[in-house]
Amino acid sequence: MLQRQNILRTFLFIVFFSIGAAALSVSILCGDLVRYYRNNQLLRAAEESLRRLEALNADYGALLEQLEKEPNAVKRIAPATLGTEPEAEDTIYPKATAEQLAAVREALREEAGHGIGGPAMPNWLVRCSEAPQRIILFLAGAFLILISFICFGSVSRKANKDGFNRVG
């Protein structure tokens, strides 16, 4: 019977102490965790920008290579690049309206925004990073640690009149 009580006390001590220590640690390290998630998000955004720049660089490199191989290509891409009217009289060229261009720009912005986002901070960390919740979490952790030591700590032994120790 006594051994069962000791095992139960030990188990409850470990559970209460672990939960209290975890709550205390999260409340103390909350600022570091927030910085960690923000830095990861900035890193993902920088990597996405780097991928886009590398793709643009490859496109421009291919275009320059094509221009070196075929000098007549300059005549074909100059009107689109410089915004001048094409010289072919027997060809009809489509004209984009300002509304169409604005819609395309908006669609490209939305597409660019979706790639950078990535997973944001977890909801529990957002809640814990607020000052009142952080204080409450710290106090709750401290109280759980105190409760684990007071209620489930080692049992004190008292000597009775006969000189024998008894559990008390």
Residue ranges covered by each domain of the chain: 2-85+96-154
Q: How far is CA 23 from each of CA 95, 109, 140, 151, 160, rounded to the nearest angstrom?
A: 63, 41, 7, 19, 41
- Residue 81: per-residue pLDDT: 72
Structure tokens at 78: 């100059």
Percent of the chain at pLDDT exceeding 90: 40
The pLDDT confidence band at residue 2, using thresholds 50, 70 and 90, is confident
The 10s digit of each residue's pLDDT in 117-162 is 556 788 888 888 899 999 999 999 999 999 999 888 776 655 556 5
Exposed/middle/buried for residue 33 (C-beta within 10 Å: 0-12, 13-18, 19+):
middle
Q: What is the pTM of this model?
A: 0.57
**pLDDT for 3:** 85
- For position 133, what pLDDT does the model report? 93
Element (H, E) at 158: strand 157-159
